[in-house]
Structure 1
């Protein structure tokens, strides 16, 4: 057993698995949206207010100071935009969020029968926000390859600077791959391959004790559970079936 230090950081390794907008804590929005350069109709402020109500930390370019805890050129925030999709009879907008690589992580359209531009666009934005999930960032993890006399260090987005309580980690194997369990918090742990910087699997608690929701490195979802001191993952197969993969403690 080895002690693992858990520190804060803002690098989003979960991007390897593909992210949702709710995975983010920080959202950047422009002071003026490109499709509304001539007249904003208050959409920027309305979007910022709505995002904050859903738990996001919003940075409005030109209005807010960039948070010191994240780098502006990092991948730890999403970028929001409002596109004008209006037709002859309706005011329509499309709410869109992209990651640092330009991939769309959320998109939602809204429309309004209100003919007045400001009221109509505001109403359309309100409709597009209905399906926007609240911020619920996963612990964004980066596992640094372990040298023989060094501890593995992981970093979590949830705190800012001071190390949190140290956790013990155990080593597990299925006879083919050796993995290390890293306890992130009471609700989440990962199995990490010591020879890779990519987590093998992320485990999050479910409503049933000792049964976990599991996200694998290829982006697929399954379940995992404890059995006789071992960690078991139901591994999805190409034929739609599942095989029982048992990882025994070393």
Structure 2
């Protein structure tokens, strides 16, 4: 009877371990928080830094909460697991476990209980956490993209691209509408005087200057950050465009001309009007 019970327990353990490993392999990132609930300060006793180190030691791609996240994780947060360290009460022992939750808050994995009898907090937490991480040694974690995640990423990409395309179209329509209003105002104001024509000359030169630069021998434009966005300069250096941020990532409104600059498929484009014609130009921008 005892032998049968022992065999059953071993089988359950093996199945549970295999299931946990499969689950963990579906996730590309582990997020480590800056502060644990049972401590008063961020990274107190260097426990959060130690957590990140131990995850990386066991092959996990670890991110610290609040840092700049990779693009694929920004688009699909379900590619990552949120880690937490939990403290259990004990009179003479420090007891810690490590928990991993998915993007819906469901616990995917819980480590073994790590214990320490040391009295000094910094040493006790360090030892207990290292002991808890011993359960990761046999997992042999290796990220393998799951079909579910691949579908999620594809869906997010499509939705994002559609949203960007719609917003770009709206910006184009707004720019054309403003252009039409300017032309209507100009018609109501009547013909320009000779003085007005002289004043308008440098403005027209400014508008057509970017096209000349792009067709030259060196078409690289260097982005310099400004309070409202970026200015693009050529190798002279001369400011060719000033572009202001919008609510969309990698979409900018260009100052001084009826146009926008945006990124599509890792390539930058300028859509602008020459007269009544909408023209598209490819830009080589270095940030």
Shorter-chain TM band = 0.3 to 0.5
The TM-score normalised by the length of structure 1 is 0.47
Structure possessing the higher radius of gyration over alpha carbons: 2
The TM-score normalised by the length of structure 2 is 0.41
Whose helix proportion is higher, 1 or 2? 2
| Structure of greater relative contact order (alpha carbons < 8 Å, 6+ residues apart) | 1
